[in-house]
Structure 1
Amino acid sequence: MTLEHKFIEGSPDAPVLLLLHGTGGGPDDLVGLARELSPSAALLAPAGPVSEHGAARWFRRLAEGVFDYDDVRARTDQLASFVLDARQEYGLDGRRLVAVGFSNGANIGGALTLLRPDVVREAALFASMLPVPDPPGHDLSATRVFLSNGERDPMAPLPSNEQFIQLLRERSASVTVHRHHGGHQITLDALQAAKDWLAA
């Protein structure tokens, strides 16, 4: 197990939620959100392994909104290996796994869906951007993604999110898009929409 993390056992018939925090966050950040989405889910919450001036992140960036794409790919594989190990360690094989991410966590979650469909087939991502510009042409017809973004989000601009949606759809993923009028946040409407998507 390569990443520091928290695991909370859940009901065997509920999904396992892989919680991916935003910049400067930690394993506890999305627990409340997860409980709203699925009260009896098992929670697997790793900590981002990259430090940016002391703030935990999932991968390096060259500037605000400018990702180090080589590092994104390497860290995506690191996270994928962690998830596969955790499935063994905690007896989660055969259980439905859903990545839930906010901001930087949504971006690594998006990279997982594009690059490692062998590990993650479902993701609810809040305030995400295009994580990698030219992902391989994996068949994502078995992949479901929920994306919520704010129309006034300077940190995750809609054009980048639209490119991400296009790449997912070109690879036959099922994409549910939610928009809100706010900025870089998770709104109550977004939470309800994600909850409905998860239950569908």
Structure 2
Amino acid sequence: MKHIFRKGQSSDQPTFILLHGTGGDESDLFPLALRLNPNYNMLGVKGNVDENGMTRFFKRHGEGQYDWKDLEERGTELYEFLQAAAKEYDFDLENAILVGFSNGTNIAINLLLREETKFAKALLFAGLYPTHIDHVKDLSGTDIYFSMGTHDPIVPVSESERLIDLFQRSGANVTTHWTQSHGITEESLNEAVKVVNEQ
């Protein structure tokens, strides 16, 4: 997958895995990552799906109507890429921090819920995962930060609450921040910085 890797201060630093929103690219979230912690490794990944000229990580049938089969396949593809990248760039995937915005958050959620994966933390902005999941794996010890909008035109509050409930049931350490709309605000970024730098 097309990507950019920026080496951090030392090889044992955590690695941000940066997953853009619809229409973005592999460089989009680097300014955000530099604010979160400039000393960490950074891996920006570009989605492989083209939707009317806009890049995404998986296909959909319409707004909020996911192609779930494609999402599963693209999630597998992304995880296999991350495993290869961890070897190539010599970083520990279990010490990685997923950072997603919108469509990037949604593929990050798919990664987190897979039985075979383990990540240290996830910073998830403006996510939507509109499906009911009965069984969720044990995510004890994983820090999950959600930034969600009370008046998000794409994500209803009920869907945001569904995500919070899902990850609370998993045993993850869930932190939530509510903003107004579908975006990343200065305040939501400042709260994410706290989650990143907590030991």
TM range (shorter): over 0.9
Question: 2:163 corresponds to which residue?
Answer: 164
Identity of aligned residues (%): 37
Structure 2 CA distance for partners of 1:146 and 1:32, relative to 1, 3 Å: same
Cα pair 1:142 1:173 within 8 Å, conserved: yes
Cα pair 1:20 1:100 within 8 Å, conserved: yes
Structure 2 CA distance for partners of 1:116 and 1:38, relative to 1, 3 Å: farther
Structure 2 CA distance for partners of 1:52 and 1:93, relative to 1, 3 Å: same
Cα pair 1:113 1:122 within 8 Å, conserved: no
Cα pair 1:113 1:143 within 8 Å, conserved: no
SS class of match (2:72): helix
Distance 2:119 2:50 in 1: 25
Distance 2:29 2:9 in 1: 18
SS class of match (2:194): helix
What are the ranges of 5 or more consecutive residues in structure 1 without an aligned counterpart? none
Q: CA offset at residue 120 of structure 1? A: 2.7
SS class of match (1:99): strand
Cα pair 1:14 1:38 within 8 Å, conserved: no
Distance 2:177 2:115 in 1: 24
5 Å-filtered alignment, 1:36-51, equals 36-51=35-50
Structure 2 CA distance for partners of 1:111 and 1:121, relative to 1, 3 Å: farther
Q: CA offset at residue 34 of structure 1? A: 0.4
Q: CA offset at residue 152 of structure 1? A: 1.0
Aligned-residue RMSD, C-alpha: 1.6
Instruction: Single out whichever of 111-120 and 8-17 deviates more from structure 2.
Output: 111-120
Question: 1:11 corresponds to which residue?
Answer: 9
Q: CA offset at residue 137 of structure 1? A: 2.8
Relative to the length of structure 2, the TM-score reads: 0.93
Structure 2 CA distance for partners of 1:174 and 1:117, relative to 1, 3 Å: farther
Question: 1:153 corresponds to which residue?
Answer: 152
Q: CA offset at residue 164 of structure 1? A: 1.2
Q: CA offset at residue 159 of structure 1? A: 1.1
Distance 2:61 2:183 in 1: 23
SS class of match (2:55): strand
Relative to the length of structure 1, the TM-score reads: 0.92
- Report the AA paired with residue 102 of structure 1: F
Question: 2:109 corresponds to which residue?
Answer: 110
Q: Does 1:32 align with 2:38?
A: no
Q: CA offset at residue 58 of structure 1? A: 0.6
- Report the AA paired with residue 198 of structure 1: V
Question: 2:187 corresponds to which residue?
Answer: 189
Cα pair 1:106 1:127 within 8 Å, conserved: yes
Distance 1:121 1:131 in 2: 24
Q: CA offset at residue 134 of structure 1? A: 2.5
Aligned length: 197
What are the ranges of 5 or more consecutive residues in structure 2 without an aligned counterpart? none
Cα pair 1:11 1:40 within 8 Å, conserved: yes
